[in-house]
Structure 1
Amino acid sequence: MTGLDSLAGLLGPGGTLQQLEPGFQPRAGQLQLAEAVAQVLRHGGVLVAEAGTGVGKTYAYLLPALLSGQRVLLSTATRNLQDQLSTRDLPRLMGWLGLSRRVAVLKGRNSYLCTHRLSQARREGHYLDDAALRQLAQVERWALGTRSGDLAELPELDDASPLIPLVTSTRDNCLGARCAGWQGCHVNEARRLALAAEVVVVNHHLFFADQQLRDTGVAELLPQVQAVIFDEAHRLNEIGVQFMGRQFSTRGWRQLSAALLEEGTRWARGFQPWPELASLMERQVRDFEAWVGAAARRPEARLLWLGASPEGLDPAAWRQRLLGLDALLARAEQALQLTQEAAPELRRLAQRVLETRQRLRGFMDDGQGPAVRWLETGRHTRLLEVPLNIGAKLSDLLKPEVAAPGGGPASGPVSVGGRPPPAWVFTSATLGVDEGLSWFTQPCGLADLATVLRVDSPFDYARQAAWHVPEGLPDAQDPEHAWALSQWLLSPVRLLRGRTLVLATSLRALGELARGLQEGLQGTGIEVLVQGQGSRRRLLERFRQGATGTPCVLVASGAFWEGVDVPGEALQMLVIDKLPFPVPDDPLVLARSAELKAQGRTPFQDYVLPETAMALKQGVGRLIRSEHDRGVLILADERLHQRSYGRRLMAALPAMPCLADQAALMDALAALSSPQAWLTRSSTTDPRPCS
């Protein structure tokens, strides 16, 4: 543990990192965070730390983790950060420090090539179109040389490629030890390395999947460790509730039906009426979807489920429908019991049918504890049940008397067997708006367990950035708002020659903004990149090249609100189409609001506004990524000026001067082309003068 005492010599002025890493800037906040992490690693307990953009939190937790000599689990919200930690940050730091630590990265099944599924895809390649066949050939060539089987090694394979499900496995279709490729299985090898490693890099999905498996007493994915560090911890509750809940989907039903027909015919033709059974299953689920859809009265809907059945559905008829589906699953189960010894595929299929039936029957009872249920219609129908938060589960893991399963340590201040006490660290750039970071600590059950630390961003937002609210646009809730905003943006975008990221709060708005910008910028030489038209990775690579190549604008939603790092001149204007309020009819939003009302609290003040502030904070964090960046934030929602809550939302953001009118905005954008002009302009303004 003596290495933890040398952090100032590593991170401070004139320290090791400043000497070894070009461009490294010592930051007091980074050292403060690193020392706090070292403290909890040394003495045990729970640390919740918000580290503003630019603090350098990655090194601030990696250095103490490596120097501690403890076995550590690092968990992130995204595979991108997993790859960054395992392929860049950890090797670099270990090389500089002369440390030798066994590091392993472990992802979900759909990140690894399955050689059995690959050969199956080749045999059935006549079903694929030409583009998919070309991709399949690329995968086959790569498969001959890869050691890890991690599809991230194939940058040309888009994340959304339809080929990925054909060459990877799922829990449902994995044959386990009965598979001919079991000995060389990439998933098994990744898990073996993780169980033997001293530093294991996972994601939050895998952490909770491991919890799920251990709770059943069946298996484990992750090793027992002495410390767990969650980066991007702001996503923990959102991801955790999905894993702690359950769902039944007609999509899964159809996949099961297709597997019955395919595998039954292949391995037990003539022993059971597979075509008849599959046809009955398809017809039954089609009738079920039609009946539910008629009650929903619109193509895509969420039906609250507060009683015996979802809203608008007769309880007796609802139960009868579920019993009908259950009866068909029972018939499939019986057919497979009689034939499953014919092939491993049939034994695995029998297990799938059993698990599907258990999920369905779980929705035929009265629900489990403080959870919310709902039904979703759309391309498929889904029955869902999730807890309101992960607080109970997480606080149980951290109780001193409980040895935490699933990669977690036994928490508490007492050293075990002479080893350092276990430690938990939760960190992100956005965890709350108050000193207690209650937005994060309360739903995660940490309010009374954690030491809380807030480290402000080192960036000088008052001089590096400014913000503006356009005037005269339709109301933010008006359907015409997105189109009008796209037309308003044409002049600023032309002046900047692209260099603009537009974040939409809905897919409908994204489509309108993209269409308006594409039409308005035709013939200007400015390209409009749109989320969904290429992989996230490729879009960001192209956008980063906009400052030196063909100028461009990127219009995006959802996944681009966080984890996007575009330092330099490629991004100088960030546009947020409107305040990112939670979807009002979202069942979780409604249930959490109802719970607050029952406690005598105000849902809008205590839940809706904090959620909006955190989402806004995440989006705004895309603009300034280094001490040298300069940029303008456009918040295209006049409610910031018109409603009393506007001040509260702006208070959650870094202090920046407000550009009061269109002329001031255009002057500021023009000044971005000259650092000296921008500095002169900044020196005459005060943060938020028009808020």
Structure 2
Amino acid sequence: MKTPTYAVVDIETTGGNVSSGDRIIQFGCALVEDHKVVQQFSIDINPSRKIPKEIEYLTGITTQSVAAAPYFEDVAPTLFQLLEGCIFVAHNIQFDYAFLSNEFERCGLPALTLKGMDTVELAQILLPTEASFSLGDLVASLGLTHERPHQADSDALATAELFLLLSEKVETLPLVTVEKLVELSQHGIMQNQEFFLMHLAEMKRKVKPLPDHLFIKSGLALQKKNSSLPQEDFHERPSFPETLEDKKRLFGSALSIREPQVQMMDEVYRYFSKKETKHYAIEAATGVGKTIGYLLPAAYLASKENPIVISTYTTLLQKQLVTKDVAQVCALLPFELSVAVLKSKSHYLHLMKFESLLNEPIEQKLEAVYRMRVLVWLTETTTGDLDELNLTNYEQAFWNKVKHRGWLDEAKEDKWYEDDFYIHARKQVKKASIIVTNHAFLCHDLIKEQQELPPLQRLIVDEAHHLEEVAVQSTAESLKYYRLQKIFKWLGKKDDEKSFIGQFEAISSRMTEPITHFLDHLEMTSYFLNEEWSFFIDHLLHEARNQKEIRFSGQESTDVFFDPETFQSVSFKKSVKKMISLMEEIIYLSRNITKKMMKEKTVLSSSEQYLLNDFYDLLNEFQQQNNLFRIAFKQKNEQYVTWFSFKEKSPKNSFTIYCNRIDNPQILKKELVDKIPSIVYTGATLQVNDSFLFFEQQIGENNLKTLCLDSPYDYQKQVRFWLPKDLKPIRSLSKEQYAKMIVYYLELLSQNSTENVLVLFTSYDTLQRVYYQLQRNSAFSGRELLAQGISGSRERMLKRFFRSQGSILLGAASFWEGVDLPGRALQVLVVTRLPFDSPDRPFVKAKYQWLEKQHLHPFAAEALPKATLRLKQGLGRLIRSEKDNGILLLLDDRIVSTTYGRSILSAMPKGLHLEEMTAENMQEEIRTFLRE
């Protein structure tokens, strides 16, 4: 059998649209035979038109550099002959294949009919835990050759190396996994199925034994779990290194040690050892090394009998803490340390549901890729934690189907119980000395009747300034009209064989006590409730539009604060009463259906049992919606705030009802502060104007022990903090004028430096206005523009920004912190406005009203401290080490023209001085300072 030749192709073009005149400017090809690159070919091509500036910037190919190159018409026959008889391979094949085929046809040659394989899809399947599948990111992650990104020859060679790596990877998989990949890949892109078929044939010729680290169950190959954590004996553990010399010996050359970090280690060790009655707040400025500062003493103090729980802000930081910081500490320790991660069950894959789903028909091509990706991942993961897959959207139907929600019946009746990932995680927690969780899990667990965390005695709260914010989010509920429509659709009708009611009707005929009566009633009630919901939302939309003050969130959505006094009509009250009655009737009927089917479980097939589980999950979701509806419209409760949000383009489908508690400090005090004996709170920004008072008020503390560890950074030398002298007052500008002013100063920066620029906004509306103005401004044509909500996910934008030179990144909200861009990656930071919360946001408005009832001034007690902390957090993006230097440009005159602005200024780090600069002086200083 002749070995196929793969033509791995990449083209660079003037744009993405052949029909509008875009042309190829470079062609690259690497021929692969017998698992190696045997030939490379590349050529520049004159496109007979000017190459756009953004393409020149991206590729380095200019109109002048290809002026003497041949036209595509001249080289088309050669390229066509080169590809003839090959299998066409490309990264994102649908672009390269179609573009090249159209160009051949334009030159009078036949359209391409070659078989094709796509390395994007193959990488998504075979490298399931990669964070990004762009060629540049894969090359960097896998250590492949890629000397000149966005040059066709280099891209083609890098793609060829990736293709060879993927070919090697598939043959390391168990035969049973590859057989399933072959079956599913018929739904993939072009001839990717042949990729798996060829490798399967090769594997069957040389069958290898199953590796020791894998096992097969019910046709699935899985990684064996490490069932035991290190067996540590707490009583034989060496003493904590108390002296500086002891610590230096322990750290050796692996980690540098800093004086403030040593102080933090000693303080944390003493605090937990002495079992003090007060809780302890430690502000450890950026650069102190706070994570190692609390991890090392915790390692020496924690035991399986008396574990220490560490909570951090997000699951991403939770992952970083374990994989990076805990790993570093464990490498230093002269003993074994058992550490476990605890998240909510929805973070884990439910094997029972995944196995069931594999037997269902494929409805979307994307789901086939997801199934294949999980099949490969199961041979690699020991945790089953879906976060390992670096998903950007967990709301896809597939992930909702396979994520863990627990069991309707006895968990041990699940045939996968012994291998269940969530159960395994819970077992690990019981054996661990240190348990790492996140604030959301902690806040939810505190108020649950059956808590999943062990009884808490010692707790470390990292990024503690976020605790109140997460507590707010953990009590937040939302009721989406489109989601209710989906629930009604899933319930369906008897004549719909795919709906719950339709499938249950078929099962009912086999039951000794048929449930037809309940299904009839459920179908009718569901219909009436759907009609009533439609009327109810119309009523709310009508009232919302009649309100004089509607709130715009800046993302084309309108937020409307729900004031019970406004909605007092008899018809509205009747509608609320009717809605609650119908919702409770559906819950009653659904529970009866579930109970009766559970009694006759023996007549259900395994897939029907999974169906009943899904129905029970849906019922629980519906119950939550009912509870929210009651709180929002029936029960008068001053601890809750309700508002609506909708987009004018599709008001009904986008209509969402939100409900939040606003008394979170009281909840935290009751469930956390008053119940846990020893707590260390830590973070880089806990103080406002040398006081922990605001932090105490946010979390319900009132008598904290406190410590402030200053930053080792020399802000006076490392940072230039500028306010333009001729800056116009923000309040005097329209939205368009304000955006133009921002663009003016960005142009000034761009003309005088080639550094990356991070621009922080408080409004998405302003961000979008600036982005579109920058796009139209020729001064920025040589720079890559990245904008939150426009240019992809946050993680992807940060990766591109980190690797680029001269990019401008526009970010809001989440970009004010948690962004690590050391050294040359970020030297210019622009803050467009002092970061106050908008008082028009419904939750903020309600919170301010609640504070007033507590006899507190909302601006002084909430708005000003929050803005101060956020500006400090923004500054923290600029300086990440003692070697960094950078410019902070603030475009808000209120920092010097108002009393509260001067208060914010006084709270900035020591050594940071504000200079008011003219545009002329600024230009010279930019060049001088950054050059130094």
TM category, shorter = 0.7 to 0.9
What's the offset of the Cα at 1:349? 4.2
Picking from 36, 42, 57, the partner of 2:267 is: 36
The aligned residue for residue 187 of structure 1 is 422
Distance verdict in 2 for CA 1:599–1:330, change over 3 Å: closer
Distance verdict in 2 for CA 1:570–1:35, change over 3 Å: same
1:619-677 deviation line (CA, Å, top 9, x unaligned)? 12111010000000111112223222221111121232334222332233213543xx3
Q: Which amino acid aligns with 2:272?
A: L
Aligned residue for 2:300, secondary structure, equals helix
Structure 1 segment 108-257 matched on structure 2, within 5 A: 108-119=344-355, 126-128=362-364, 130-131=365-366, 133-155=368-390, 157-159=391-393, 162=396, 165-166=399-400, 168-169=402-403, 171=405, 177=411, 181-214=416-449, 219-244=450-475, 248-250=479-481, 253-257=484-488
Structure 1 segment 270-281 matched on structure 2, within 5 A: 271=516, 272-273=519-520, 276-281=524-529
Picking from 294, 313, 321, the partner of 1:85 is: 321
- Once residues 402 and 543 of structure 2 are traced to their aligned partners in structure 1, the CA distance between those partners, rounded to angstroms, is 37
The aligned residue for residue 657 of structure 1 is 913
The aligned residue for residue 415 of structure 1 is none
- Once residues 696 and 326 of structure 2 are traced to their aligned partners in structure 1, the CA distance between those partners, rounded to angstroms, is 28
The aligned residue for residue 650 of structure 2 is none
Question: Within the alignment, does 1:322 sit opposite 2:576 as a pair?
Answer: yes
- Once residues 577 and 681 of structure 2 are traced to their aligned partners in structure 1, the CA distance between those partners, rounded to angstroms, is 44
- Once residues 231 and 513 of structure 1 are traced to their aligned partners in structure 2, the CA distance between those partners, rounded to angstroms, is 35
The aligned residue for residue 376 of structure 1 is 644
What is the TM-score when the length of structure 2 is the normalising length? 0.63
- Once residues 499 and 3 of structure 1 are traced to their aligned partners in structure 2, the CA distance between those partners, rounded to angstroms, is 47
Structure 1: segments with no counterpart, 5+ residues = 412-422, 678-691
Structure 2: segments with no counterpart, 5+ residues = 1-236, 493-498, 509-515, 551-555, 598-608, 647-653
Is the 1:485–1:636 contact (alpha carbons within 8 Å) kept by the matching residues of 2? yes
The aligned residue for residue 602 of structure 1 is 857
Structure 1 segment 303-382 matched on structure 2, within 5 A: 303-305=560-562, 309=564, 312-314=566-568, 316-340=570-594, 341-342=596-597, 343=609, 344-345=612-613, 346-363=615-632, 365-368=634-637, 371-378=639-646, 379-382=654-657
The aligned residue for residue 417 of structure 1 is none
After superposition, the CA RMSD in angstroms is 3.0
What's the offset of the Cα at 1:140? 3.3
Distance verdict in 2 for CA 1:20–1:472, change over 3 Å: closer
The aligned residue for residue 468 of structure 1 is 722
What's the offset of the Cα at 1:555? 1.4
- Once residues 619 and 907 of structure 2 are traced to their aligned partners in structure 1, the CA distance between those partners, rounded to angstroms, is 53
- Once residues 270 and 407 of structure 2 are traced to their aligned partners in structure 1, the CA distance between those partners, rounded to angstroms, is 45
- Once residues 497 and 279 of structure 1 are traced to their aligned partners in structure 2, the CA distance between those partners, rounded to angstroms, is 62
What's the offset of the Cα at 1:363? 4.0
Q: Which amino acid aligns with 2:792?
A: G
Q: Which amino acid aligns with 2:400?
A: L
- Once residues 125 and 666 of structure 1 are traced to their aligned partners in structure 2, the CA distance between those partners, rounded to angstroms, is 63
Aligned residue for 1:229, secondary structure, equals strand
1:408-427 deviation line (CA, Å, top 9, x unaligned)? x4x2xxxxxxxxxxx21111
- Once residues 817 and 826 of structure 2 are traced to their aligned partners in structure 1, the CA distance between those partners, rounded to angstroms, is 15
The aligned residue for residue 250 of structure 2 is 16
Is the 1:582–1:608 contact (alpha carbons within 8 Å) kept by the matching residues of 2? yes
1:301-356 deviation line (CA, Å, top 9, x unaligned)? 444455xx2x5322543332222222222332343244323343344444444444
Distance verdict in 2 for CA 1:349–1:594, change over 3 Å: closer
Is the 2:757–2:828 contact (alpha carbons within 8 Å) kept by the matching residues of 1? yes
What's the offset of the Cα at 1:252? 5.0
Question: Within the alignment, does 1:99 sit opposite 2:331 as a pair?
Answer: no
Picking from 836, 856, 873, the partner of 1:581 is: 836
Picking from 664, 677, 689, the partner of 1:389 is: 664
- Once residues 104 and 222 of structure 1 are traced to their aligned partners in structure 2, the CA distance between those partners, rounded to angstroms, is 12
Higher-Rg structure is 2
Aligned residue for 1:257, secondary structure, equals helix
- Once residues 569 and 870 of structure 2 are traced to their aligned partners in structure 1, the CA distance between those partners, rounded to angstroms, is 38
Question: Within the alignment, does 1:556 sit opposite 2:811 as a pair?
Answer: yes
- Once residues 229 and 180 of structure 1 are traced to their aligned partners in structure 2, the CA distance between those partners, rounded to angstroms, is 38
Distance verdict in 2 for CA 1:666–1:168, change over 3 Å: farther
Aligned residue for 1:590, secondary structure, equals helix
Aligned residue for 1:614, secondary structure, equals helix
Question: Within the alignment, does 1:629 sit opposite 2:884 as a pair?
Answer: yes
- Once residues 399 and 861 of structure 2 are traced to their aligned partners in structure 1, the CA distance between those partners, rounded to angstroms, is 41
- Once residues 712 and 408 of structure 2 are traced to their aligned partners in structure 1, the CA distance between those partners, rounded to angstroms, is 48
- Once residues 600 and 350 of structure 1 are traced to their aligned partners in structure 2, the CA distance between those partners, rounded to angstroms, is 42
Moved more, 132-141 or 96-105: 132-141
Is the 2:242–2:266 contact (alpha carbons within 8 Å) kept by the matching residues of 1? no
Is the 1:229–1:425 contact (alpha carbons within 8 Å) kept by the matching residues of 2? yes
What's the offset of the Cα at 1:546? 1.7
Distance verdict in 2 for CA 1:617–1:580, change over 3 Å: same
1:565-617 deviation line (CA, Å, top 9, x unaligned)? 11111100111111111120234433443344445553323322112111211
- Once residues 7 and 252 of structure 1 are traced to their aligned partners in structure 2, the CA distance between those partners, rounded to angstroms, is 59
Q: Which amino acid aligns with 1:520?
A: N
- Once residues 381 and 901 of structure 2 are traced to their aligned partners in structure 1, the CA distance between those partners, rounded to angstroms, is 53
Aligned residue for 1:202, secondary structure, equals strand
Picking from 255, 260, 264, the partner of 2:501 is: 264
Is the 2:313–2:462 contact (alpha carbons within 8 Å) kept by the matching residues of 1? yes
Distance verdict in 2 for CA 1:167–1:571, change over 3 Å: farther
Aligned residue for 1:236, secondary structure, equals helix
Is the 1:466–1:632 contact (alpha carbons within 8 Å) kept by the matching residues of 2? yes
Is the 1:212–1:243 contact (alpha carbons within 8 Å) kept by the matching residues of 2? no
What's the offset of the Cα at 1:393? 3.4
Is the 1:487–1:520 contact (alpha carbons within 8 Å) kept by the matching residues of 2? no
The aligned residue for residue 827 of structure 2 is 572
1:389-416 deviation line (CA, Å, top 9, x unaligned)? 32353355443xxxx4xxxx4x2xxxxx
The aligned residue for residue 62 of structure 1 is 295
1:100-146 deviation line (CA, Å, top 9, x unaligned)? 12111122344333334545665666543x45643443233223432
- Once residues 623 and 393 of structure 2 are traced to their aligned partners in structure 1, the CA distance between those partners, rounded to angstroms, is 31
Q: Which amino acid aligns with 1:231?
A: D
The aligned residue for residue 520 of structure 1 is 777
Is the 1:245–1:387 contact (alpha carbons within 8 Å) kept by the matching residues of 2? no
What's the offset of the Cα at 1:479? 1.0
Distance verdict in 2 for CA 1:392–1:331, change over 3 Å: closer
What's the offset of the Cα at 1:176? 7.4
- Once residues 673 and 900 of structure 2 are traced to their aligned partners in structure 1, the CA distance between those partners, rounded to angstroms, is 36
- Once residues 513 and 179 of structure 1 are traced to their aligned partners in structure 2, the CA distance between those partners, rounded to angstroms, is 55
What's the offset of the Cα at 1:48? 0.8
Distance verdict in 2 for CA 1:92–1:385, change over 3 Å: closer
Is the 1:73–1:200 contact (alpha carbons within 8 Å) kept by the matching residues of 2? yes
Distance verdict in 2 for CA 1:394–1:596, change over 3 Å: closer
Distance verdict in 2 for CA 1:322–1:92, change over 3 Å: same
The aligned residue for residue 537 of structure 1 is 795
- Once residues 568 and 557 of structure 2 are traced to their aligned partners in structure 1, the CA distance between those partners, rounded to angstroms, is 20
What's the offset of the Cα at 1:234? 0.6
Distance verdict in 2 for CA 1:268–1:490, change over 3 Å: farther
Percent identity between the two aligned chains? 26
What's the offset of the Cα at 1:183? 4.1
Moved more, 110-119 or 461-470: 110-119
Aligned residue for 1:19, secondary structure, equals coil
